[in-house]
Structure 1
């Protein structure tokens, strides 16, 4: 039962100005606090929320906003508890329910390098993305079983483990640049309530980080046989995403929603029950008074909380010569923090930068923001944050009345040489963003594709918005709206003045967008085929190489089926055409590459494609395949003229038989579950990488790996 308005004894305050010092001195009286809250509420009602961030003038300004968010959240939760207590004071239990560290020492070995080799599959040329596998043609670097591992990978037929270093926590991603490795690991200590963890394809997950403290470990690997730890940087926040441009590393770190220890949400003297408080002698007036005491006590705790405990901080330990230099403190000074004007934001996000090979402290730009999807170029980094409309909160001014989900976009200008990025501008668009590929910057115009609503709502549709920076705002200058009504976005890719959007409900409409005039974008062409693509790769200027799922049309909807690869000719933008199609397995077949582009390896130099696969056979319609017939890495030759030619597969698990069934085919399309996670080509060899093993095979004999290298133990 919800609390009726006549029982509400305290307001939901939104403090705009709170005279509190940097160390957390007590504020003014409650009347002045309420006046400030009322003024802020009036402003929000008149103009709506704004996506723009405002630079803090002082520590008092930061404290005011931070603690206002804390009070707002505290009172909302307390009001919910009061609602339960008021119901319990109304109903007797009789009628309740009627309404309802270590290093391996080996001699360094000389290693040649392959003449041609594949690298990390990144979205933007010359902008590296962190992954747990890196390759330089001579050595393969892998994070596995808690260690940074170096494999001497060339010549491939003699590939072997060379060295490993234990990394604190759970190592997850890294960069390797010249003779340095930069490793991101999640420590055991939680910072907040956790999150979705790994989210690369945001159809049914959100970009939150994993809720664990982040450590960055820097290794000197000039001697590959004996990597040497030279720096450890620990944050009281979690890894969100990152980019490397040359020697500059830019890392988005998300900090948990602010909390103050000791807050309570139920009076100690009041039994915590859903009914019968009146039987215990508690009247509604007494219940209200008890909750008011809790509220005032919580206010005092929030008021007394030192600001230093609420802001992002860092511990940076650097090895200089033979001495370790440790620096602890806030990531950004108060005057460098940008504050949000939206009521659903109670945490911080910092873009941390440093230059590989430099000994200077890390630099950071900090904004008040929830986490989101990250897109980066050589000069800019964007964070796209999803928002859902709350009827009790101010909504974004300028959006249509019927818009219930929106995405704010925050832009940072990157600085060379490891300098702090500069917060540049913010904007808001209707709908929610799918992933990083739904964003793109071209000639100063930022394009973003979003979906409004959720299937099977018939009002679901998609939008491509074009924004341009104007002062501190990202202003919409063009829009294509109502794309594919009743369908939602499954993949996006931009290429210069052209965009490609795939939506789905029962067929796969590929929309070709003409973005040459940012102020007047439009749909140039359309192609409808069964199934849908979850990833589109730019094979060349005139061809897309796509991956996704086949589909079985059922009239009002369609069942997803096996993995589907396609080569699509887009040389005539008005008339895109499928040149070749390959369907792998049946419903339940899965691939890491379907939802994580880092697992998709297209080796253009030799027309080779490698995709991790778990192949299931049998089933059909809505029935899953009943037998896993292959688990490993599939390798194709792919050309525009010849389409897909299967060269074979590198196995990692024994196939199932009716007598040895292990239930590996109940895979939902958004949850990749293939045993193999990554692959690397070196000339005519392929490295198939699973969490426990690297298999090295010649293209002439993929079924029989020449070398197997364990990734467990020392």
Structure 2
């Protein structure tokens, strides 16, 4: 599995060579590598074996003509390797790139001018036949073989919301209102549902002083659960299942009727091949979004495997079916051998009707979804190999680095998914909170480069794109030498935290999408991994404190993390944001899942409570850390009082060196006036107003 994953990453960085696209000249003449068509409205790229003089990229030496052989305006950029040309800002159509021999660094008698035809296509390319699908993967194999043969003389390049119950209870900390994301613990009607490997623990919490195990829902032995979600009286278990006979994995959604929580009824199971990125539920529809990597390497052995993803729906029988060709398309400007799969399931009427799966050739890793649109992102990798020893390919070390991000957009309406288009933005995206949709425009924050690369320092950008993914405005080159650690969009404002030695919090006005503007910044030690809105003018930041140390060997300062830290930022004066309040949590080595998984954040609006599971350590001798305890902490956070610790629900260490994994608090939830901590082997209840413990339920 890991082998395939790394092969996929490698292929992302390699531009596919389609035989017969144009004539190739053998060394020492100039050789070009590209694809004949770019299915995107934005750019097309070609790589040469000979370097190009940047000063010679003029209208006379390097230019584009249309189908009528007339010069057309285009943006032509020279890549960092000095051998790659990126042609952008062209409308759909057929073109030719002209590169006169004078543009090459060694324009000798054996160097010829280049005329390379290409096409810009703006729509999805449907796969029309099994033969065409096979040819797609054969092209990838040919390209991989060509790379092995020609590496010494050429440089490749990257081309409905659940109805609220009468009870006041915890909900999932979703990014977008009206778009459910699911979690490992969910609450409904005095019952707590928690994931435990291949089963779901259902806890009757009607009486917090007398917790009971209502039932345990057990899935198949080969099926593991990753998260749960609720929709009306449906409990949805999201997981993965390994099919030993087929030597592949399926991402699954198993639906239960929990009208009677003590006796859940199986309704349906839907699956798609591959591994899951995430799920979303909005407008009465469940979306499974994942990736699948077919074993097309068998084509080298003259075997013809089934290159189509498999799907499963228990309503249609017990067999796994290959996705029909009419459900498969090629995403613009991609050729990495991976499918992006999207399954949409209608949840109305007990989820017993439509399920629609579509496959798109072109993988993805990032995801953002609004109520009406789905955005997937994929990194575009670039890299330089080490020089082969004695020309041996096996001695090459290829170090990939993310340079840009490709964004794909679909408009969604129930189970209908309509592809809108694609674009590319500079830099890599951190996570879903670095993306947002507002009034039809898409906003994305990226980091370009590596903050440790002194030759080419990192820079951070914010881009605003319209409904067709055309750029409206941008803030570029923010905090040179640093990288984005967290971001949050709140309507007409964006908040971005970058870090290298200090933590600048940037406040950016995005009210005018054509002219986003940095209003102010705050520099403090440490950094925030997660930003959460308290109100319109206050943000909660959760991250780490840091300190500077000196390395006698390198004679340089370096930064290390110390304790966890939570801050309250006052941004009411946008030009002068302030850290209004802060608390230190534990010492060196302390951590919480909330740092990287916002689902772990506990929220109770009545008491203004915010909390999270936590494991506490403190600094010992030298670089040692000493275990102090595990549990959860609850804080009251208000604009008036700042941050105040209210509940310190910690099981202190009695000599243990490390935390107990089975007793680690995974989530903190509440129902009415009781708070519950949920671990793998126990659920504990507390009085919400003063955190007095009420009961413990042991789960075996």
Give TM-score scaled by structure 2 length: 0.74
Deviation at 1:591, TM superposition (A): 0.4
Tell me which of 307, 312, 315 is aligned to 2:309. Answer: 312
Offset from partner CA, 1:585-621 (integer Å, 9 cap, x none): 111000011110000112223201121111112349x
> In 2 relative to 1, CA 158–674 (structure 1 residues): closer, same or farther, beyond 3 Å?
closer
CA contact (8 A) 1:191 1:236 kept: no
User: What corresponds to 1:337 in structure 2?
Assistant: 329
Residue 685 (structure 2) aligns with: 696
CA change 1:53–1:584 in 2 (3 A) is farther
The structural deviation recorded for 1:40 is 3.0
1-side partners of 2:333 and 2:597: how far apart?
33
Asked if the contact 1:191–1:255 (Cα under 8 Å) also holds between the matched residues in 2, the reply is: no
What is the rounded CA distance, in whole Å, between the counterparts of 2:548 and 2:282 in structure 1?
45
The alpha-carbon distance between structure 1 residues 67 and 182, as it changes in their structure 2 partners (threshold 3 A), is farther
Partner in structure 1 of residue 71 of structure 2: none
Please state whether the residue corresponding to 2:343 is helix, strand or coil.
Answer: strand
SS in 2 for 1:182: strand
Change (3 A) 1:53 1:675: farther
Partner of 2:670: 681
Q: Does 1:710 align with 2:698?
A: yes
Assess, with a 3 A threshold, how the Cα gap between structure 1 residues 557 and 36 changes in structure 2: closer, same or farther.
closer
Contact persistence 2:686–2:693 (CA under 8 A): yes
Taking the aligned partners of 1:149 and 1:52, their CA distance within structure 2 comes to: 49
Cα distance change, pair 422–486 in 1 and its aligned pair in 2 (3 A): same
Structure 2 contact 330–362 (Cα < 8 Å) conserved: no
**Deviation for aligned residue 1:691:** 2.2
Rounded Cα–Cα distance in structure 2 between residues aligned with 1:440 and 1:51: 27
Would the aligned equivalents of 1:408 and 1:427 in 2 still touch at CA under 8 Å?
yes
Alpha-carbon deviations, 1:133-178, whole Å to 9, x = none? 1112521111114212221222322332111111121111121111
Contact 1:191–1:212 under 8 Å retained in 2: no
Match in the other structure for 2:135: 64
- SS across alignment from 1:371: coil
Contact map agreement 1:16 1:40 (CA 8 A) in 2: no
Across the aligned residues of Structure 1 and Structure 2, the Cα RMSD in angstroms comes to 3.4
Is the contact between residue 507 and residue 521 of structure 2 (CA under 8 Å) also seen in structure 1? yes
Q: Find the aligned partners of 2:32 and 2:548 in 1 and give their Cα distance.
A: 58
1:116/1:605 contact within 8 Å kept:
no
Question: How do residues 271-350 of structure 1 correspond to structure 2 at under 5 angstroms?
Answer: 298=300, 301=302, 305-306=304-305, 309-318=306-315, 325-326=317-318, 328-334=320-326, 336-343=328-335, 345-350=336-341
- How far 1:257 sits from its partner (Å)? 5.2
Counterpart of 1:240 in structure 2 is 277
Counterpart position of 2:261: 224
What's the offset of the Cα at 1:464?
0.7
Residues 1:570 and 2:559 aligned together: no
**Using the alignment, how far apart are the partners of 1:190 and 1:469 within structure 2?**
43
1:332 shift after superposition: 4.8
Deviation at 1:310, TM superposition (A): 0.9
Q: Distance in 2 between matches of 1:548 and 1:63?
A: 48
Structure 1 residue 631: deviation in Å? 0.2
Deviations 1:74-104 (A, max 9, x none): 55468899xxxxxxxxxxxxxxxxxxxxxxx
Answer yes or no: is 1:54 the counterpart of 2:124. yes
Cα distance in 2 for partners of 1:58, 1:636 equals 58
1:14 is aligned to 2:17: yes
Counterpart of 1:614 in structure 2 is: 615
Match of 1:167 among 215, 219, 223: 219
Q: Distance in 1 between matches of 2:623 and 2:241?
A: 38
Instruction: Say how many residue pairs are matched.
Output: 566
Q: Give the whole-Å Cα distance in 2 for the aligned partners of 1:370 and 1:325.
A: 29
Structure 2 residue corresponding to 1:130, chosen from 182, 190, 206: 182
Whole-Å Cα distance in 2 between the matches of residues 411 and 591 of structure 1? Answer: 33
Cα drift, residue 366 of structure 1: 2.3
Q: CA deviation at 1:334?
A: 3.5
Shift of 1:569: 1.0
C-alpha distance in 1 between matches for 2:480 and 2:662: 31
1:532-611 pair list within 5 angstroms = 532-554=527-549, 556-611=557-612
* CA displacement, residues 544-585 of structure 1 (integer Å, 9 cap, x when unaligned): 011111111348442211111111111121111111101111
Q: Which moved more, 1:567-576 or 1:44-53?
A: 44-53
Cα pair 1:317 1:326 within 8 Å, conserved: yes
Work out which of the residue numbers 371, 380, 385 in structure 1 matches 2:373.
380
Match of 1:508 among 472, 492, 503: 503
Question: 1:408 aligns to what?
Answer: 406
One of 423, 427, 436 as aligned partner of 2:423: 427
Q: Which structure shows the higher strand fraction?
A: 2
Aligned to 1:444: 440
In the alignment, does 2:213 pair up with 1:213? no
Q: Which residue of 2 aligns with 1:637?
A: 636
Q: Could you list the per-position Cα deviations for residues 324-347 of structure 1 after superposition, in whole angstroms to 9, with x for gaps in the alignment?
A: 74464333534651344334x111
- Aligned partners of 1:224 and 1:214: how far apart in 2? 25
Query: Compared with structure 1, are the counterparts of its residues 526 and 673 closer, same or farther at alpha carbon in structure 2 (3 Å cutoff)?
Result: farther
Which residue matches 1:480? 475
Aligned partner of residue 605 in structure 1, secondary structure:
coil
Structure 1, residues 359-383: CA drift from partner, whole Å, max 9, x if none? 2342023222222111111111111
Give the distance between the partners of 1:367 and 1:575, measured in 2 at CA: 46
Listed one character per residue, the Cα deviations across residues 290-323 of structure 1 (whole Å, up to 9, x for unaligned) are xxxxxxxx2x62xx525xx1112202112xxxxx
Distance 1:499 1:191, change over 3 A: farther
Cα separation, 1, equivalents of 2:616 and 2:354: 48
C-alpha offsets along residues 25-70 of structure 1, whole Å, 9 cap, x if unaligned? xxxxxxxxxx999873997427569896632251244333233123
Gapped runs of 5+ residues in structure 1? 1-10, 19-34, 82-111, 194-210, 264-297, 319-323, 393-402, 666-671
What's the counterpart of residue 342 of structure 2?
Answer: 351
Structure 2 residues without counterparts, runs of 5 or longer: 1-13, 22-30, 39-43, 47-84, 89-119, 153-163, 386-400, 551-556
Distance 1:51 1:460, change over 3 A: farther
Q: 1:625 to 1:611 in 2, by over 3 A?
A: farther
Displacement after TM superposition at 1:624 (Å)? 5.0
- 1:444 Cα deviation after fit: 1.6
Preserved CA contact (<8 Å) 2:481 2:500: yes
Could you say what secondary structure the match of 2:680 adopts?
coil
Q: Is the 8 A contact 1:156 1:696 kept in 2?
A: yes
TM norm structure 1:
0.73
